Each structure stands twice: as C-alpha cells, then as structure tokens.
Amino acid sequence: MQFYPPEYFDDKKNGYTAIRTVPLASAMGAEILDVDIANVSDEQFAQIKDALFRYKMIYFRGQTNMTIDDQEALTLRFGEFGTDAYTKGMEGHPNVQRVLKEASSVVDWVFGDGWHTDSPFLAQPPSISLLQSLDVPPYGGDTWWSNAQLAYELLSDKMKEVIAPLKVHMSAAWVLSNVNKGKPKLNDLSLGDMNLTVDQQKMIKGNFHPIVRTHPETGQKSLYCDTSYSMGIEGMTQEESKGLLDFLGWWATREDFNCRLRWEKNMLVIWDNRLCLHKAFNDYDGYRREMIRTIVNGEVPA
Ligand code: SIN
C-alpha cells in the first residue's frame, strides 16, 4: 500500500533546489540534507518549511556547529516563541526547555510519554516544536510520530461528516495525575530530572478545540485528538465520548501512519503539532538523554 504517489517525494517536482530530502517512512518523516542549521539561507528556509508541511516531521543530522542561539534563531523564523506550559526554560534562555533524564534516574514517566500533540489544553497550543539532541543513549530513547493528516484523510466520508462539527475537550488532567503519582505534595512536581513549573488548575480546565483542524498555511485537515489530553467531546456523555475518542486515538496512531526516529547526537528534529502526534520512550534506564526544545506560538485551532 502506498499512502502517497511517488511524485509526492520528488524533490525536483517539489522545487527543492537548495535542500535534498530522504523520506523516513511512507507515511511521514524525512531527513533533510545539505543544510547547516547555523547558516540557513532564505531559499533553504522556504524549502525547509514546505518540506515540514509535506513530511510533518523533518530532521537534520550532524549539526555539530549548532548552538542554542542558532536553534532560537531558526525557531523565530517560523514565528514568535510559544510559552511552555511545563517548564520555565533554561537560565539565560527562557524560551528553551531542557528535556533531561540522567543515567541514574529511574522513573515511571518521562517528559513526552504517551501519544500527544504539544500542550493542546492551551487556548493557543504551540504550532511547531524543535528538538535538538545533545546527549543520547546508545539504544532506546527513540521518538515516534504519527501522521494526523493522513489519519483524517483515510477516515470514511461518513465518519468525517460525524466528527466535522465536534469539539474535543483538551485537558492535562490524566497526564498530571500520572506526573503527580507518588509525589509528596501536589506542587512538588518533577519528571525525573526536570523540575516542572505548571499552573495545574488552568491545565486541567483546558480548552475545547475542533477535533478536525485545518492547517492555517496549507489548508490540510487533520485529526486533532490524542490519547493523552483528549478528555471528552462537547455535548456528549463521558461514555459516548470515550467510545469515539478511543477509536479516534487508536486510529490517529495506527502503526502504518507512524515513523520512528533513532536519535544520534547533534540532530535537530522539527515537527508540526497541527499535522502529527508524537510520543517519547522511557526505555533507557542507566543512560543519559539530554535534549533542548523550543516551540513556536500557535494560533487558536480552527
Ligand atoms: C516532547 O514530547 O516534546 C519530547 C519528545 C522526546 O523527548 O522524545
């Protein structure tokens, strides 16, 4: 089965003259070649952005020259920084979040565990996320992504009709209950080696967003629901919405809609939270993993 015709991946047809792309899986994801993140030309940036919307997640290997400032500068070319709902940011870099698990940490949950789109409980969730690998385990610690645009596209016309008017309640209630588990005080929040600064009430209250989202720049429609933050559907009982959300959450993350990245040091990954879901893995106890993350402020989902 081919989700996209071969020409979808054709750099020449796509007008990519300043970058090369190597698809990671047939559903989504691509490596981008010929780019030094510390020196991205305007022509390259336009093609990188197009490739991001095409592949939903893109990555760059061997970015040994890349600094935190370079990551910040690239993030700002996509739009203004988003405010992270979980952490305060690094000293001197308030818009950069360190995602860290030390070799000595043994935790039930890591940051990003569970299929999700970034912070959808916010009124304006982050549109795009960038993650740079500083230290990676020798194995494990992969990240998975799933193509939410493809998931929407392949629903039946009848299901598309049913879900078109629906709004999903996005709340961090379930995620925070996992983070809080076994913690002495409700406000003593950490995830392994990450201290969290969160407004729990606001995150639990969350927001209602369209379950079918339209990408503001490309017009692509995607399923905006996940298995971490989607708590209910406006106007439905818990039982009714659970049935539908269980199906849609499973469908949106179907294995053949996924790609999975084995990290190397000095990689940069960029994904569009409006077009895909992702999930971190907690399978590398005994090894250190350190990433730095920036987010772009998003629009009110429509
Ligand atoms: C995230 O969800 O932003 C983190 C993903 C990861 O650490 O793999």
Residue 302 lies in a domain: no
Q: What is the spatial distance between Cα 146 and Cα 208, in angstroms, rounded to a whole number?
A: 22
* Number of domains within the chain: 1
- pLDDT, tens digit (0-9, with 9 covering 90-100), for 165-184: 999 999 998 888 887 775 54
Distance from the alpha carbon of residue 292 to the mean position of ligand 1, in angstroms: 10
Residue 182 lies in a domain: yes
Q: Is the CB of 111 under 6 A from ligand 1?
A: yes
pLDDT for 1 equals 78
Here the tokens at position 50 are: 């197009």
Residue 1 lies in a domain: no
Residue 33 lies in a domain: yes
Averaged pLDDT for residues 189-195: 71
Look up the domain containing 92 and give its range: 6-296
Residue whose CA is at the smallest distance from ligand 1 atom 2: 112
Q: Is the CB of 112 under 6 A from ligand 1?
A: yes
- pLDDT, tens digit (0-9, with 9 covering 90-100), for 23-76: 999 999 999 999 999 999 999 999 999 999 999 999 999 999 999 999 999 999
Residue 284 lies in a domain: yes
Q: What is the spatial distance between Cα 198 and Cα 283, in angstroms, rounded to a whole number?
A: 26
Q: What is the spatial distance between Cα 116 and Cα 125, in angstroms, rounded to a whole number?
A: 12
What CATH number has the domain bearing residue 48?
Answer: 3.60.130.10
Backbone dihedral region for residue 111 (phi beyond 0: left; psi -120 to 50: alpha; all else: beta): beta
Residue 167 lies in a domain: yes
Q: Where are the alpha helices (DSSP H) in 224-268?
A: 238-252
Average predicted confidence (pLDDT) for the chain = 94
pTM summary value: 0.95
Q: In angstroms, how far is CA 211 from the centroid of its own chain?
A: 17
pLDDT for 83 equals 85
Distance from the alpha carbon of residue 226 to the mean position of ligand 1, in angstroms: 15
Best residue among 113, 116, 228, 291 to mutate for probing ligand 1's pocket (most ligand atoms within 8 Å of CB) is 291
Q: How many CA atoms lie within 13 A of 3 on its CB side?
A: 19
Distance from the alpha carbon of residue 112 to the mean position of ligand 1, in angstroms: 5
pLDDT for 113 equals 87
